[in-house]
């Protein structure tokens, strides 16, 4: 799910929960315990990517608790002590959300930096075989078609564009090459090698995940390609 969708869901859930509490308090004014739902509403911000939804929802919830005091009708949660307790509970919930968000953001940043720093090319294709992620190292392996390596590009289209750019060393017709390579990709087995037209040798591993997505890992083994052990490991050149 994209960051925008996460953000929208967090705001909608949090503010929607606050609106529900406001409505219940208006319809059932005698039910003072309804104000205890304010801290729960803050948890809706767990779905958001940024921190501001939790703070905004916390401020609105605090206003809802303090409003009766301003109006002179007493705290909705049972007097001054009850109102103060609700405010504390609200901001404890906000603190919990912010702490969770901080940990999540740090983990996501670490994964992003690791993904971008990998010396090997790494691509993730979703269940529909469309590119979901592609790191800089993979783009550097095929600079002539790097602009095609964007989200949504199918594996078949990527192979066809690469073959059309004469980046592979092969005697096959383009469509025959594409058909064979796609078949191998959809039924990944042992790692294999790929020889590019400029003489580079790539070692390719493909892994199919439970959700139908596929991870493709490419490593430049040009310096090792003449060694017997490397040739045995790669299984010889094949469509990449």
Which positions ≥6 away from 74 have C-beta within 8 Å? 68
What pLDDT score was predicted for residue 16? Answer: 58
CATH architecture of 118-234: 2-Layer Sandwich (3.30)
Q: Where are the domains of the chain?
A: 3-115, 118-234
pLDDT value of position 120: 85
d(CA 96, CA 57): 13
Q: What pLDDT score does 227 carry?
A: 55
- Distance CA(103)–CA(126), nearest Å, equals 26
Q: How many CB atoms are located within 10 Å of the residue 117 CB?
A: 10
pTM (two decimals): 0.55
Q: How confident is the model at residue 116 (pLDDT cuts 50, 70, 90)?
A: confident
**Does 199 have pLDDT greater than 80?**
yes
Tell me whether strands 214-220 and 121-125 are parallel, antiparallel or unpaired: antiparallel
Residue range 215-236, pLDDT digits in tens: 999 988 887 766 554 445 444 4
Per the structure block, which two tokens stand in for 138?
């993979």
Who contacts 43 (Cβ-Cβ below 8 Å, separation ≥6)? Answer: 14, 93, 96, 97
pLDDT at 181 over 50: yes
């Amino acid at each position: 799910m994209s960051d925008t969708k996460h953000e929208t869901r967090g705001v909608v859930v949090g503010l929607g929960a606050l609106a529900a509490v406001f409505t219940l308090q208006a319809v059932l004014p005698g039910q003072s315990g309804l104000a205890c739902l304010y801290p729960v509403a803050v948890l809706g911000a767990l779905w958001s990517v940024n921190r501001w939804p939790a703070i905004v929802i916390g401020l609105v919830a605090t206003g809802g608790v303090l409003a009766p005091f301003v109006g002179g009708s007493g705290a909705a949660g049972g007097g001054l002590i009850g109102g103060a307790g609700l405010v504390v509970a609200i901001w404890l919930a906000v603190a919990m959300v912010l702490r969770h968000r901080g940990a999540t953001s740090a983990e996501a940043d670490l994964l992003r930096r690791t993904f971008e720093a990998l010396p090997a090319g790494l691509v993730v294709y979703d269940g529909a075989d469309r590119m979901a992620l592609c790191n800089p190292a993979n783009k550097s392996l095929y600079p002539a078609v790097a602009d095609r390596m964007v989200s949504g590009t199918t594996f078949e289209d990527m192979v066809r564009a690469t073959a059309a750019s004469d980046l592979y060393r092969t005697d096959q017709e383009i469509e025959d090459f594409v058909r064979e390579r796609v078949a191998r990709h959809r039924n990944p087995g042992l790692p294999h090698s790929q020889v590019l037209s400029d003489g580079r040798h790539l070692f390719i591993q493909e892994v199919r995940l439970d959700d139908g997505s596929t991870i493709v890992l490419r490593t430049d083994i040009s310096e090792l390609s003449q060694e017997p052990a490397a040739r045995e490991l790669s299984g010889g050149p094949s469509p990449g």
